[in-house]
Amino acid sequence: MSGIPDPWGSALQQTLLAACSEAERHHTAYEQTGRLSDLESAVALFSTVLKHAHHVDVRSTAMNGLGMSLWSRYERFGDPGDLDAAVGRFREALAMYPDEPTPAIPSFHANLAGVLRLRWRRTGDDTDLVASVAEARAAMAATGPGHPRRAWRLTNLADGLLALSVRHDDSSALAEAVDLLREAVRIAGPGDEAAGMRSNLAEALRLRYRSTGGRDRALLDEAVEHGRAALNMAPRHPLRPRFQSNLALVLLDRFAARRRPPDLSEAAGLAQQAVDATPEGHPNRAERLITLSGIRRMETIRGRSSGRLVELARDAVAATPRGHHLRSDALLGLGWAGVPVRGRGRRRRGPRPRPVPAAGGRPRRSGPGPGVGGLAVGEHRPAPGRPVRGADRVRPRGHVAAADRAAPGDPRRPGAAALLLRRSGPGRRGVCRPGR
């Protein structure tokens, strides 16, 4: 390309490519170690390349790399400006090839899908969620059988469909997500983080079981199998606490369906391990505290001693500041923790509890059996991958706070959790289990 300052093969172009490679090394090092200086170096180097590069291939590489680095920085500090900037960088990278298919385009689509979905989790704007699914489909359209990234992109698309299914109670989206995750697990290669894919599939199967009204208990057995396999495959995996939390939820649903005490005991142990391994400030700590608090409450209802129940519930509230998408769930759990348990182990008659809204705000019916307030918060996130130039980034590490957008009559408005608690009454089996 003549007439530009950095023609292909020139000394400047080689320097800029070397700078991109160095920035990628810093970003990969940050992903592996969490060392902030590496992330700062990656952002600075990619930004410098964009100031000097004019060649479209060099600019798109740097734009994609900067988008991934800003994505990481948002996850570190929670600045929505970084998230918006990451969305912009990936869109700019795509815009550089309006009519020219290149090998990097599917990766840009996949990365854009990930940050749009992450922004939706923060804002609740359905436009981002719908666009995320469309971008993930665009990535899949260019990823045929045998492609080395196919398992990753199947997981990416399935994650968006799971979010759609919870948000809009869309059974067809959920069924498609389960099929995609089954294929991803089936074709996953040695470097594809199969443990994470199995854990994702376990959570999807759990949601599928709930969508059937509890009629197909074989789904829970399959989910337990995949959840346990994920843990066995990854004894030292950095996302092991997520795998433990997901399996705990599956086992709790199976306990609700079949009343097998070992399932409840195993769920409690896994949930406790997940909380113990999750430091304060981690984006998933609130979900794991809510899960553990609910399981301990269930143990108390079943007549087992469950110390620290109120303390756990208070910790969950402390981890969900005003505006957090699980704030109502945590408050509801605190309310239940403070209610004396009556009639332990006996079924109490009474009206069925009202459904509690999912993370996106739309009420979602709980599954059958004894639910626990705030438990349907499985972490079906794409497993982490090592980002390289032009490759998908598949590491959105969990939920972030979502702004409260409570409308008149919305059960998420302040005080709604206490109102639901008063309506449901204490000690009753079948306590509301809000969807994610």
Contact (Cβ atoms closer than 8 angstroms) between residue 411 and residue 420: yes
Contact (Cβ atoms closer than 8 angstroms) between residue 377 and residue 287: yes
| Distance spanning both ends of the chain, measured CA to CA | 50
Nearest Cα neighbor of 181 from 203, 148, 211, 166 is: 203
pLDDT of residue 193: 83
pLDDT of residue 24: 97
Query: Per the structure block, which two tokens stand in for 1?
Result: 């390309």
Domain range 1-101, CATH architecture: Alpha Horseshoe (1.25)
Residue extents of the structural domains in the chain: 1-101
pTM value surpassing 0.95:
no
Mean pLDDT of 386-397: 42
Cα–Cα distance for residue pair 12/237, rounded to 1 Å: 41
Band (306; pLDDT cuts 50, 70, 90): low
pLDDT of residue 402: 23
DSSP letter for 34, please: -
Q: Which tens digits make up the pLDDT trace of 352-387?
A: 333 333 333 333 333 333 333 333 445 544 433 333
Helix (H) or strand (E) holding 48: helix 36-52
Q: Give the number of other CB atoms < 10 A from CB of residue 37.
A: 11
Could you write out the DSSP letters of every residue in 358-404?
A: -TTS-EE---SS---TT-------PPP----TTSPP----S------
Helix (H) or strand (E) holding 186: helix 171-187
Which residues 6+ apart lie within 8 Å of 371 measured at CB? 256, 353, 430, 431, 432, 433
Band (393; pLDDT cuts 50, 70, 90): low
Contact (Cβ atoms closer than 8 angstroms) between residue 368 and residue 326: no
Band (21; pLDDT cuts 50, 70, 90): very high
More confident residue, 413 or 305: 305
Mean pLDDT of 336-341: 66
